[in-house]
Amino acid sequence: MDFYLTALLQGLCFSAMALGIYISMKIFNIPDITTNGSYTLGGAVTAIMLTHHQPGYVILPAVIVAGGLAGALTGIIHTKLKINALLAGILVMTALYSVNLYIMGTSNLPLINFSTIFNIVKIIADPNRNTFWILSVFVVIITLLIGYLLKTDFGIAMRATGNSESMIRSLGVNTDRMKITGLALANALTAVSGYLISQLQGFTDISMGIGIVIIGLGSVIIAETLINWFKITSVWITLVLVLVGAIIFQLVLAVTLDIGVDANLLQMVTAIFVLLIVSLPRLNFLKGNK
């Protein structure tokens, strides 16, 4: 049971990143690979500030700003320098590896003996359940904020930028600014996931972001599949399904390990799982045409 509880907790930690990838890939249609770097950046900033005994109310805003700057830089390179979005993300992600290593000063920073959000805040006595409730509150707050933002005029303009950039530009909206803001928001959310997971696992590692984008992408694809199946149009339900997708993804990986699959093959299993999710709607479509 503890094994699956850990998977559930990791799914909650990755929820913020899943929301970020939903914003970049589904709202703006931008394949943003900056995620790999901004996720580690969130963990690096968290680790170095915790080891310097900075208070939590300083650490979280610092993480959000750091992730936001990384995303904004990708947006600026893409919109102002007219560089392909995927290439812009790769460039920033590559640069962030050095930035993260410089921030940490080493490839790995343990956080076991330092106060984290999970041992400072006490909701109930049991440590695992206490962590669950802290993460649940965290995720609910983030979801409410993002949901509210997407329902405002600014959020509607963001969504319109992804749907029809030429139309929204004709209405006087600065689409470049929207893309920069959207990527900044997406990577700020991703950095928050790094902030949470580094405290949950008790360390930050320079390579923790490698392949992390596939987890967020898989979570969003699961949500998209559910949205298409149930024909969901509500923004709020869509965001909830993205969170559900993040949890389902982690639980599937937990089942994979529980049935005895070699942990060394986990990345390959993850890739195959995402491929199956992506292929499922298309297989149904082909079946319907026969």
**Predicted confidence (pLDDT) per residue in 196-253, tens digit:** 999 999 999 999 988 888 888 889 988 888 888 888 889 999 999 999 999 988 888 8
> If you average pLDDT over each of 122-136, 173-187, 256-270, which comes out highest?
173-187
CA-wise closest residue to 222 among 246, 200, 203, 206: 246
Instruction: Output the CA torsion 282→89→193→45 (10° steps).
Output: 170
Helix (H, G, I), strand (E, B) or coil at 283: helix
* Rounded-to-integer distance, Cα 195 and Cα 61, Å: 11
- Rg of the chain over all Cα atoms, to the nearest angstrom: 19
pLDDT score of 40 more than 90: yes
Helix (H, G, I), strand (E, B) or coil at 255: helix
pTM of the model: 0.92
* Span of 141-150, 231-240, 277-286 with lowest mean pLDDT: 277-286
**Residue labelled with tokens 């770097």:** 37
The partner residues of 152 in beta bridges, in order of sequence, read none
pLDDT score of 18 more than 70: yes
Domains of the chain, CATH where assigned: 2-287 (1.10.3470)
pLDDT per position as a tens digit, 57-101: 999 999 999 999 999 999 999 999 999 999 999 999 999 999 999
* Rounded-to-integer distance, Cα 72 and Cα 183, Å: 6
What are 43's two structure tokens?
Answer: 């963990």
